[in-house]
Amino acid sequence: MGFGKVSLDKEIGGVRRTISQGEVARSVGVNNVLALARRRGELPASFKYVPEVFSTIPRGMEEGGMVIRAIPREVARGQVRYVPLFSLYAEPAGGGRPLLAEMIERSGQSPEAFVCDRIVKPFARQWIELTVGRGIMPEPHAQNVLLEVGRDGLPTGNFVHRDFGGFNIDFEYRRQSGQALPGKLPHIGTVENDYKIGRYGSTEQLMGRNLDSFFYGGFIFNLDRQMPGWSNKGYLQPQQGRGLREGVFKRMLVQELEQQYTSITGGRIDLRGDPRAMGRMAQARSTGAFGTPPQRRPGLLRRVLGRR
């Protein structure tokens, strides 16, 4: 079973909602990379994704494509459910409390402890494993990242990513470090254009851009703005809302990223004292923290791209 992501020739949220030919090719190509990496055990256990198994666009058109996404089996069987991050803090149109407030009450934890233990900490570890260790950079904003919820109604610690058009993969690094890559990548235009190779500069710059623009802006920012007022609205008990101040969750995420970075790589990084440090996190690769450091070999990227 599956469903389609289709083009809509309208501007919504400042973005024209059409699917380009590059995204048509990239969606299936990224899916193939992830599927191969998963078979080889190269993905974090907490990382899940919605497969994009087929895509198409009318011949000769640069926009107007469609992507088919497969429904994961565990969802179709009712074993788990996935909820977008934005739905956790959204206030129901018909009244009632946001889903996150209900989860916090069910858990018995404080709001800060719940968000840290169930969301921020597992996300921070997954993000560093993916970007620093695997050269895979998702687009982690509140629409594209879903939280896996177990039968007890609480997060399982797994995150489900969708929309491969926003993924970026460091193909050269993965190849040099012996990690899985398909022999060829599907493309309609050039591979460099369809997969945005070099479009945003270095991998290090892209990492900083992704986290700051998407996760801070799309999820943590909203928690910081909205949750301090939840006790006044009756969503949380008064004593639970006392420690909530704007900025508390962003500081929490930064601290967890620093700690997870140290735990995984053995190195240290100061994301608060050095605003450019996020963009240099990929330098941990040279320490061999994720295996044998890659060796530079001429012509490697050209071979990865199938341009023999």
Q: What is the pLDDT of residues 253-293, one digit of tens each?
A: 888 988 888 887 777 777 766 656 655 655 555 444 454 44
Report the sign of the C-alpha dihedral through residues 207, 45, 54, 187, in that order.
Answer: positive
Tell me how far apart the terminal alpha carbons of the chain are, to the nearest angstrom.
Answer: 37
Residue 122 has pLDDT above 60, yes or no: yes
Overall average pLDDT of the 156-163 stretch: 94
Fill in the DSSP letter of residue 213: I
- For the ranges 44-48, 192-196, 207-211, 230-234, the one whose mean pLDDT is highest: 44-48
Beta bridge mates, 160? 48, 146
Tokens of 87: 């739905």
Tokens 């920012």 appear where? 221
CA–CA distance, 142 with 271 (Å, rounded to integer): 22
pLDDT in tens, 76-89: 888 788 999 999 99
Gap between the Cα atoms of 304 and 110, Å rounded = 48
User: Poorest-confidence range of 75-79, 92-96, 113-117, 162-166?
Assistant: 75-79
Bridge-based pairing of strands 136-137 and 11-12 is unpaired
Give the 3-state secondary structure of residue 28: helix
- What is the amino acid identity at position 30? V
The CATH architecture that domain 78-184+195-304 belongs to is Orthogonal Bundle (1.10)
Top pLDDT among 239 and 113 is at 113
Residue 303 has pLDDT above 60, yes or no: no
